[in-house]
Chains A and B, each alone.
Chain A
Amino acid sequence: MKSRIASLILFVLLAAVAFAQSDARKSLPPSDAQKSFDGMKALAGDWEGPVTVDPPQPGWSSDKPLHISMRVTSRGNALVHEVQEAGTPLDPTKYDHPVTMFYLDGDRLNLVHYCDAGNRPHMVARSSPDGKKIEFDFVDLSGGNEYGHMYHALFTMIDANHHLEDWTYMMPGDKPVKAHFDLQRAK
């Protein structure tokens, strides 16, 4: 009988500790990475806008927009980002759309870019104090570097319906090509 009572008390104590830990976890303020990820997930939806490139390309008409779609998936654990031309239906045979995945790993917001160059650069975010700029710095690369790789990304939140994206691709020989997207939420 005494051992049963002791077991019951132990169970109650363990349960209390577990609940307390759970409550403590819930009451912890979100990390900077979590805030940045939440900010990125708020971009879910379709976006369109002009793109300017650097070095400038003659014949690159920035008035013809590109389309970006962002989708939260995996029960909120990942954000998928995809680029295509605006005004064209999503063509599953047109397979060179760059795809980027964003995900949280501990206290780091990560980005993996699935490039048509056949490699997967990995970048980690740092956020501006006001949270309106989320900058991704290159960490490492899986796959070869023979054809260059995506090197840097910057997301600037203007308002709920307007944001900017700046992507830097490093060509072979470490020559950067930059693309600046000025995106409005598509109706």
Chain B
Amino acid sequence: MDREWNDNQPIYRQLRDRVVAMILDGVLKEGDPLPSVRTVAAEYRVNPLTVLKGYQQLVDEELVEKRRGLGMFIRAGAHKLLLRGEREKFLDEEWPRIRATIQRLGLTREELLDVAEKPQSRSDPKKEEER
């Protein structure tokens, strides 16, 4: 995990987001343990109460479970739950803006499918220059 924090969100929320990203990326798998509150506090130089809030948020979102005497673990189904949430968020919040841009630019379905099938070619500046 990155040791740097930004000032846009509370640290506990950034900590939550980092764990979420690690679950989505498969770095943390279902059943994997989370490091203890004290370990995270020491390693990332944050207040233990801040870490506590971040972990509690993950528990409230049913992504992490507490096992008495053992610690905190990624819940079974956490990846699916997150993916569903992120997909809904994309379709509700981001897609309407993207669709509006597509319509404004007059991009056709074929052009978009072509780009979708060759995602790398559009982002490679050398290939862009060759076109």
Contacts and interface: CB of A to CB of B under 8 A. Distances in A.
Interface of A: 51, 53, 55-61, 64, 66, 83-85, 91, 93-94, 96-98, 115-118, 147-148, 169, 171-173, 175, 177, 179
B60 A147 contact: no
8 contacts: A58-B71, A60-B36, A64-B48, A85-B47, A94-B46, A116-B47, A147-B12, A171-B56
Contacts of B69: 58
Interface in B43-73: 45-50, 52-53, 55-57, 59-60, 66-72
A17 B31 CA distance: 78
B72 A59 contact: yes
Interface residues of B, number: 29
Contact of A66 (B12, B46, B48, B66): B48
A91 B13 CA distance: 22
A59 B49 contact: no
For the residues of B in contact with A, the DSSP-based class is: helix
A89 to B, nearest CB: 12
Given A55-B56, A57-B52, A94-B45, A147 B13 contact: yes
Contacts of B50: 96, 116
B23 interface: no
B9 interface: yes
B74 interface: no
Contacts of B55: 57
B37 interface: yes
A177 B56 contact: yes
A98 B47 contact: yes
Contacts of A84: 47
Given A58-B67, A59-B37, A147-B9, A171 B60 contact: yes
A57 B60 contact: no
B41 interface: yes
Contacts of A94: 45-47
B75 to A, nearest CB: 14
Nearest to B65: A58
A175 B56 CA distance: 10
